[in-house]
Amino acid sequence: MRLDSLRRCKPDQVRGSAGDRTLSALGPHTDVEALPCRGYHGTPVFGCHAHFHRRRFSPTGLRRYGVWGQRSPAGPSKAGPPIDGQQVSQAMRVLTLGAFERDNFGDTLFHEVTKNYLQDADVTAGSIMAGRLSSGEPVVNYRKHLATERVDAIWVVGGEVGGVVLEDALAMSLAGDARAEYLAQSPQVRRSRAEEQGFSDHRALAYLPEMGADGPQVVVNSVGLSALARAEPDVVTRSLAALQHATAVHVRDVPSHEFLTAQGVTVSIGPDMVHAITGVPGYGPDDIARPLPAPYALVQINVNLVRHHTVKEVAHQVATLAREADLDVVLFAAGVAPGHDSLGIYAAIAAAASRESGARAIRVLTDRNVTHLVHYVARAEMWVGTSLHGRVLAAAYAVPRISLENEKVSRYATTWDPAYAHGVDPANLAREALRGLTSFQRGASQATATRLASQADAHSRRVREALS
């Protein structure tokens, strides 16, 4: 589809949204397409992005991206050796950029789904430091990789990247005493740590690449940037410069869209791209195996919320849910990086809950294979958690769901998935989960899954088209 054939519309024409912070609240110039266009499988979709600004390339930039098929000082051409007089194009080299340096379910999912839109490209996962994804795929230090390898484009895969500078990201990858020790270091020492990772300073943006005019093309997909409204002025200035350089910027929540629009950044809005996971080979509904023989509910709760409500209280709620819903309960870790979920705390919850759950089993899921984790969510009878991507996956597979207290999740759910409870006090976990189970309507949930998947797919395809 030609991008210039898409049309803009007023938000009250957009279909399939509800709530006081929905698309209808965005204002009269929202880049949202109301008329049907064609999605991944040729099905009509609504909410398609109607405008991407076109990047202006210098002659050097044109050579860098192989438009002229010549080698330039800025980097090698994409054109390969001629065969029978024809110039053969090499695959575009794309660096996916995300918080891959720590164990977080959502970031790994972003990479898995993004690769589906880059099947014709040579894809490398990159982050602020080298490592491995939970899938086992290697992750490069993206700044060092850019210094030594040809990269044609950087695709920021998603997540809450607004306002995150390098020293914050490095601190988030550390736990306990190591984190406190790092934060206590002088600016000079932290700057040295930044230079070790290939960055110019410790206040550099962690996940929004700051590229010059001759740098790789950048697209930013499925991100939350509302934290920029509260960030330090220097971080805001650098972030807006990086976003203005990007060929496409796509956000997933209303506050991010409002902030960037007010700053003059061309931006589109749509649901999180992970809603489109059912279109990824290996993740379709027919590909999903049932991981356990008995029906089960998934419960996920981050360490801070457990500490606030105590292990004893959370265990009582888990046991009540298991007993009254007549379901086993699997305690699910969306991420085991510092500040996320704790398998040790889960073990304490399971031990306490098992003493009052009756015949139902309370298990701790220790598996970190991303495909296995998707299967657990997709075949659950109920999702309860603080994780945004746990909720997104539950929505994608039409699983009943409620979300516990989490501002980010509530902000997202209000816009895209308002029919299912969010902001639930853990003290009411069992009651709200039982209410969600009894009121669940499979047909309505499947319709929501289809709509959000189509919208997410359409937006991600337009981000991919922006790289062409």
Confidence at residue 29, expressed as pLDDT on a 0 to 100 scale: 33
Per-residue pLDDT tens over the stretch 229-251: 999 999 999 999 999 999 999 99
Confidence at residue 155, expressed as pLDDT on a 0 to 100 scale: 98
Two tokens at 163?
């306002």
What is the DSSP secondary-structure string of 112-172? HHHHHT-TTSEEEEEESS-EE-TTS-EEEEHHHHHHHS--SEEEE--EE-TT-BHHHHHHH
Which stretch of DSSP H or E encloses residue 183? helix 176-183
Which amino acid does the sequence have at 7?
R
Confidence at residue 214, expressed as pLDDT on a 0 to 100 scale: 83
Which stretch of DSSP H or E encloses residue 453? helix 442-466
For the chain, counts of helices (H) and of strands (E) = 16, 16
Q: How far apart are the first and last CA of the chain?
A: 13
Distance, in Å, from the CA atom of 291 to the CA atom of 314, rounded to the nearest integer, reads 25
Distance, in Å, from the CA atom of 12 to the CA atom of 34, rounded to the nearest integer, reads 9
What is the pLDDT of the chain when averaged over all its residues?
Answer: 83
Burial class (CB in 10 A: 0-12, 13-18, 19+), 37: buried
Confidence tier at 168 by pLDDT (50, 70, 90): confident
Per the DSSP assignment, residues forming a β-bridge with 153 are 94, 217
What is the DSSP secondary-structure string of 355-381? TTSTTS-EEE-----HHHHHHHHHT-S
Rounded average pLDDT over 429-453: 96
Per-residue pLDDT tens over the stretch 399-440: 999 999 999 999 999 999 999 999 999 999 999 999 999 999
Burial class (CB in 10 A: 0-12, 13-18, 19+), 292: middle
Distance, in Å, from the CA atom of 74 to the CA atom of 213, rounded to the nearest integer, reads 11
Which amino acid does the sequence have at 417?
D
Indicate the CATH number for domain 3-67+90-277+454-466.
3.40.50
Per-residue pLDDT tens over the stretch 85-115: 444 457 999 999 999 988 888 999 999 999 9
Sequence ranges of the domains in the chain: 3-67+90-277+454-466, 285-452
In this model, does residue 264 exceed pLDDT 80?
Answer: yes
Between CA 304 and CA 285, with CA 393 as vertex, the angle to 5 degrees is 150
Rounded average pLDDT over 165-194: 81
In this model, does residue 59 exceed pLDDT 80?
Answer: no
Q: Quote the percentage of the chain above a pLDDT of 90.
A: 67
Contacts of 351 (CB under 8 A, 6+ apart): 315
Per the DSSP assignment, residues forming a β-bridge with 394 are none
Question: Which CATH fold would you assign to the domain 285-452?
Answer: Rossmann fold (3.40.50)
Per-residue pLDDT tens over the stretch 354-388: 999 888 999 999 999 999 999 999 999 999 999 99
**Range with the poorest average pLDDT among 67-81, 110-124, 283-297, 338-352:** 67-81
Provide the sign of the torsion angle of the four alpha carbons 224, 230, 235, 241, taken in this order.
positive
Residue 239 φ/ψ region, left for φ over 0, alpha for ψ in the -120 to 50 degree band, beta for the rest: alpha
Say yes or no: do domains 3-67+90-277+454-466 and 285-452 share a fold. Answer: yes
Per-residue pLDDT tens over the stretch 293-318: 999 999 999 999 999 999 999 999 99
Rounded average pLDDT over 48-66: 35
Quote the pTM value. 0.80
Distance, in Å, from the CA atom of 456 to the CA atom of 445, rounded to the nearest integer, reads 16
- Residue 159 sits at φ, ψ, to 5 deg, of 105, 180
CB 97, CB 110: distance < 8 Å: no
Rounded average pLDDT over 197-216: 89
